[in-house]
Amino acid sequence: MSSARSRTYPEPLIFPSTATHTHTLIMLHGLGSNVVDFSTSFLSACTSSNHTLQQLFPGLKFVFPIAKKRRAVLYNRSLIKQWFDDYSLEDPTKRQELMYDGLRESASFVHGLIRSEQKLIGARNVVLGGLSQGCAMGLHALLSFERDGLAKTEETDPLGGFIGISGWLPLAHEISEEAWPAPVCEDQDFFANDKDPREIDTLEKRQMRAANFVRGIVELPALSSECNKSPCFARTLIFLGHGTSDDKVDIRLGEHAYRILERLEAPVTWKMYDFGHWWKEPEEIDDIVSFLQEKVGMLVM
């Protein structure tokens, strides 16, 4: 892994491909989840044709990482498996400082898993995803991911895709403010540097500001803006699904994540289901299969 802290995480639960390994799906569980139960439920989820993902994609390797136990302030500092400590989903802006340590450590861990699979099959064949807090952690890891140490003119391959179910984007408000700063005052000297800041802002710069804000939270060096190329997340195909009657993560939080990514012009697909806090079978599994097949380019057997 990319840091000593990553070694404190349990070993992921891995289900090898049943044919030649072509792709890997790294799927993060939700808050307090039992990874055995989570993986069993996900792998047994069926499409409308009564097929599982393993049956349809025999070249797909499944990696189910396991969060380490952390003190949960909201639950009287009980030790539970969580990717980061989250104080409130009713008001996500409350006590956000509690998230920082977990986001930093878990991002390092997830990035290490991505890079391990990237070495085997290439970044474009790695798909990241998660359910609930796993989706939230996955989005944060996606926004901060980049293959470091490249020349300024060298562009990195994006990940093959991202699958988010019933999740949200941590620090969404702050990311928005960073990507789209408040308008300048009317009496500001626009031409102090012979340039009007309202005219020189670009999509790539907004994307870079969003990525670098998240990288700053997880204590990664800022990406250079001199190459004028989009960060990895902006070129990764993203699927977000959410239940309209989700009583744990309000659909408004999921939609807010979608709107931010859409406004940053990331290639994101948003689907809503008449359902609660989980994936809906078979409709959502059908859509995930279509996403993997049509967007990621995986072959259905």
We report the CATH number of the domain holding residue 126 as 3.40.50.1820
- Is residue 193 included in any domain, yes or no? no
- Segments of the chain with pLDDT less than 70: 1-7, 147-155, 183-199, 225-228
My answer on whether omega of the bond before 282 falls inside 30° of 0, hence cis, is yes
- Is residue 190 included in any domain, yes or no? no
- Is residue 92 included in any domain, yes or no? yes
pLDDT of residue 151: 41
pLDDT of residue 203: 92
Name the residue range of residue 175's domain. 4-181+198-296
- Is residue 42 included in any domain, yes or no? yes
Residue with tokens 């928005």: 176
Residue with tokens 């989840």: 33
Q: Which strand (E) or helix (H) includes residue 130?
A: strand 126-131
- Is residue 136 included in any domain, yes or no? yes
Contact 234, 266 (CB under 8 A): yes
- Is residue 263 included in any domain, yes or no? yes
pLDDT of residue 54: 97
- Is residue 186 included in any domain, yes or no? no
DSSP 69: E
User: Would you put residue 43 in left (φ > 0), alpha (ψ -120 to 50) or beta?
Assistant: alpha
The amino acid occupying position 68 is: K
pLDDT of residue 227: 54
Closest CA to 171 of 229, 87, 240: 87
Instruction: Give the number of domains in the chain.
Output: 1
- Is residue 265 included in any domain, yes or no? yes
Closest CA to 111 of 173, 174, 37, 28: 28
